[in-house]
Amino acid sequence: MTAVTYEDVHRRMAAAIDAERDAVLDLLGPSAPAVRAAVAELLRHRTFGYPLSVLPLIVHAVETGALEPALPLAVVHELWWTSACCLDDLADSRGGYRAGDLDESTALLATLVAGTSLPLLAVQSERVPEPVRGTLAAEMVRCWIPASEGQLRDLQGRAAGATRASVVAAYLGKSGAPFRMITAMAAQLAGAEPPRLALWREFGEVFGVLWQLFNDQEDILSGRGEDLRNGTVTHLLACALEETAAGHRERVLALHAAARHSARARGDLTGLLLAPAVLGRFERDLDAFRDRAHRILDALGGHEGYPPVLRDLVDRSSRLLLAALG
């Protein structure tokens, strides 16, 4: 019986993904042992709590019923997000970043290889059919621009002018673009026709926004408070700015500015973010993106057994995890 959750798929495929990762690292060749060691250390250091490397496997299986042919794309997806997260950490570290045994300079070089050269080598390898190699490489290259644009919008975000729409625009780049890339690549590898490929692009983009909203909630629930420490303009903050009475908006902005350096400000701002009206607005947006993702999956259909796995993943990613205060 086909697995009903993406974790089930990961448990089934984890050993094969590990072997594929080693094979991709070997593509660096015998002349680059230091590069291979640095990228391997980066991958060991940056682990993910949710095994989304299986997403391209599931997309390919929806189209064809087979998971295994998309294994190189599982590694590409892992490399992309490892690189993106490490670059984000480097930007926030203010000169004190380390990745496992790697100092900042070595981590930066490893991050560049992991996010650019190595994924391109992976899709040009003999593990990928020759007719689609150029198409898959072009998909990655096209992703870098909107993803970088979204990340820059995030880094340069100004709370005073933030709206829900402006934050979603940034999320569509920094998170939507990479997920659009990997779902499109999996569909291309599976031989999907253009109308289905367009739907897979849309699904990846919508899921990317949902996953960012999920991460925003987890940052609060975990107690890390990295978004508040870094001054990130999140969708939840935009909801607070739009739902807060005009006379109190300045207090939200002041607390957001102070939260970088003040635990008390972070606590006070978190309380405002968890107000019932704010979470209500946030939940309605979550529901809208979830419903859109389900409509796309309805239109796609696919090989029996695998569409429910994606539906489950969408539902898990679109739950309201935060509880209102007051």
- pLDDT tens per residue across all 326 residues of the chain: 444 799 999 999 999 999 999 999 999 999 999 999 999 999 998 888 899 999 999 999 999 999 999 999 999 999 999 999 888 877 766 666 677 788 888 988 999 999 999 999 999 999 999 999 999 999 999 999 999 888 888 777 788 889 999 999 999 999 999 999 999 999 999 999 999 999 999 999 999 999 999 999 999 999 888 999 989 999 999 999 999 877 788 999 999 999 999 999 999 999 999 999 999 999 999 999 999 999 999 999 999 889 999 999 999 999 999 987 65
Nearest to 55 by CA among 10, 119, 115, 3: 10
List CB contacts of 130: < 8 A, sequence separation 6 or more.
none
pTM of this structure? 0.94
* pLDDT attached to residue 151: 84
Residues forming a β-bridge with 99: 102
CB 322 within 8 A of CB 217: yes
Residues β-bridged to residue 246 = none
Q: How far apart are the first and last CA of the chain?
A: 46
Backbone angles phi, psi at 274, to 5 degrees: -100, 15
| Structural domains in the chain, sorted by start | 6-317 (1.10.600.10)
225: left (phi over 0), alpha (psi -120 to 50) or beta: left
SS (H, E, C) 240-275: HHHHCCHHHHHHHHHHHHHCCCCHHHHHHHHHHHCC
The owner of tokens 């997260």 is 85
- Beta pairing partners, 102: 99
Distance CA 231, CA 237 (A): 10
| Neighbour count for residue 76 (Cβ, 10 Å) | 29
The secondary structure of the chain in percent helix, strand, coil, rounded to multiples of 5, reads: 75, 0, 25
> CB-side exposure of 122: number of CA atoms within 13 Å?
28
Radius of gyration from C-alpha coordinates of the chain: 20
Cβ contacts of 153 within 8 Å, gap of 6 or more: 166, 169, 170, 173, 174
C-alpha 56/C-alpha 305 separation (Å) is 15
Residue type, 199: L
Among candidate residues 200, 57, 75, 84, the one with its CA nearest the CA of residue 144: 84
Residue 1 has what pLDDT?
Answer: 44
The pLDDT value recorded for residue 72 is 98
**Residues 6 or more apart whose Cβ sits within 8 Å of residue 75:** 17, 20, 21, 24, 53, 122
Q: Which helix (H) or strand (E) holds 287?
A: helix 276-300
